[in-house]
Structure 1
Amino acid sequence: MTMVATKNTVPPADPTAPAGQGVGPLLRAWRERRRVSQLELALRADSSARHISFIETGRSRPSEEMVLRLAEHLEVPVRERNALLLAAGYAPRYPETSLDDPALGALREGLERLIQGYEPYPALVVDALYNVVTANRGIMMLLEGVPEHLLAPPLNAIRLTLHPEGMAPRIRNLPEWRGHLLAQMERDIALHRFPALRELYEEVAAYPVPDRGDGQEAAGEVPYFALPLRIEHQGQVLSFVSSISTFNTPMDVTVSELAIETFLPADPATVKYCHALMP
């Protein structure tokens, strides 16, 4: 059984410079965010520091090709590349297709097959706001017991994990896992600058965290090759490490913001339990 979002719920990002200032301040903001000098960027883009300076100050209007080349070397997200092109006076290059659009039918089917093939272990697909696009039965297993009001669409993976009525009470290493998720969100906020993502961060960061006196385990009691998610299910403590994958060279805004997260069993007991639960 899977869950599929009915529409793209990602809002536009905040601009990095006031509207009407052109592409120069936007490019400068991205360069400074990446901590790249004008000379270094010029060398990467086969240009000159003088030309980069002229673009940033508005003395020179970059070509469409130059805007895309600079965006590539600055690792600007696809959504923001459209914003740069618009600021430079060009049409957006990358479409933003709804997940319900027939054009993405093959993609949806491929994602479904991918995460179903990962069973009995948990796997899901989320958008840039961590809303669940689709999930497999392994995820549904972890969500057992979560109240209905948290399962109303759009399902949000971060909220479901950290909410005191969600999975949080069953996570044995909640402080460590919470810190990992909040740090990941901080990186995404710096990259995407969605106001809704900042609001979500402020919401989940304010959730109470149980102290060590309620049976929580300390990190490091068992050696792992990566920080595990240690979560109880029907009295059994399961251990998973997560991996996140994105699409290589996406040409659509929606596709560029999808992430596939898979949970790999971190010990033999978890492998045995998952296979026994979902043969």
Structure 2
Amino acid sequence: MQNAFGDTLKEWRGRRRMSQLDLGLAANVSARHISFLETGRSRPSRSMVRLLSESLELPHGARNAFLGAAGFAPAYRKRDLDDADMAHVRAAVDWTLERHDPFPAMALDRHWTVVKANRSGGLLLGGAGVSEGDSLLEALTDAKRMQAVLENWREVAEHMIVRLRTESAHLGGDDVLDATVDRLELALGPRTGGNNHPLPAIIPARYRAGDKVLSFFSTIAQFGSAEDIALSELRIELLFPSDDETRTALFDISRSQAEAK
């Protein structure tokens, strides 16, 4: 007899590297009950499905699939950012991006598509031939193009591989992210082991801009308590100058553009 929920539960437990006892302790149920759910001897209630989803830290889309496997209706919608009931969220994104100028900032979706960028972010992305609606992942795997834009492309690509693997693991595997990792590893070729020197606090991305090199590190902001699938996957990446030369250059550019208006 097919046991879609049990199979899904077992699969996600394996992805999270949790034993039945681990999951039982996290969800405050017995390991025996977890075993019964996986074999189909017990059927879960809707509240139990949601409890296990929380304990397994499932992304919202996977929680809908988990509920469906147990025979329940989905709990989460996927709204477009332009929807009327997303107006406050849209305003928050706009406010954050605008206030971050003259430093670059952009809103990205799950697959690193540029949803929106501020003025400075648009200029920075434009130097790499990227605009709103384009995928940063596609740009990053174009080694020839990115080596012309990023002075330390190899270093950035190596860190991106780690970051994308982590994001994919959280999602339970993602074909787009995994394929990007494969392309980056192919583009990088054989790599030697790291050196024994202490790593710096932050490894910046260094962009070529004419005769200047602009150096940035980034922070990532996400919406807390997001109950919408798209909103839970939306993040705002805020870039900050990692040296005084970059900071001065950005303010000079901003001042020149203001005077030209």
TM-score, normalisation: structure 2: 0.86
In structure 2, the residue matched to 1:157 is: 136
In 1, the alpha carbon distance for the partners of 2:133 and 2:108 equals 11
In 1, the alpha carbon distance for the partners of 2:118 and 2:40 equals 50
Residue identity opposite 1:168 in structure 2: Q
In structure 2, the residue matched to 1:90 is: 72
Instruction: Determine if contact 1:161/1:168 at 8 Å carries over to the other structure.
Output: no
Match of 2:149 among 170, 185, 191: 170
In 2, the alpha carbon distance for the partners of 1:170 and 1:186 equals 24
Higher mean Cα deviation, 80-89 or 176-185? 176-185
What is the alpha-carbon root mean square deviation over aligned residues? 2.6
Q: Which runs of 5+ in 2 are unaligned?
A: 190-194, 256-261
1:229-248 equivalent positions in 2, closer than 5 A: 229-248=205-224
How many equivalent pairs are there? Answer: 250
Higher relative CO (Cα under 8 Å, sequence separation at least 6) belongs to 1
- Percentage of pairs with the same residue: 34
Q: Deviations over 1:66-125 (max 9, x none)?
A: 111111111110110000000001110111112222121221121011011111111111
In 2, the alpha carbon distance for the partners of 1:238 and 1:220 equals 27
Instruction: Determine if contact 1:143/1:167 at 8 Å carries over to the other structure.
Output: no
In structure 2, the residue matched to 1:13 is: none
1:18-33 equivalent positions in 2, closer than 5 A: 21-33=3-15
Q: Which runs of 5+ in 1 are unaligned?
A: 1-19, 210-218
In 2, the alpha carbon distance for the partners of 1:174 and 1:146 equals 12
In 2, the alpha carbon distance for the partners of 1:204 and 1:156 equals 15
Give 1 or 2: higher helix fraction: 2
Higher mean Cα deviation, 254-263 or 97-106? 97-106
In structure 2, the residue matched to 1:17 is: none
**Are residue 189 (structure 1) and residue 171 (structure 2) matched?**
no
Instruction: Determine if contact 1:230/1:240 at 8 Å carries over to the other structure.
Output: yes
TM-score, normalisation: structure 1: 0.81
Instruction: Determine if contact 2:208/2:214 at 8 Å carries over to the other structure.
Output: yes
In 1, the alpha carbon distance for the partners of 2:236 and 2:122 equals 16
In structure 2, the residue matched to 1:227 is: 203
In structure 2, the residue matched to 1:268 is: 244
Residue identity opposite 1:273 in structure 2: A
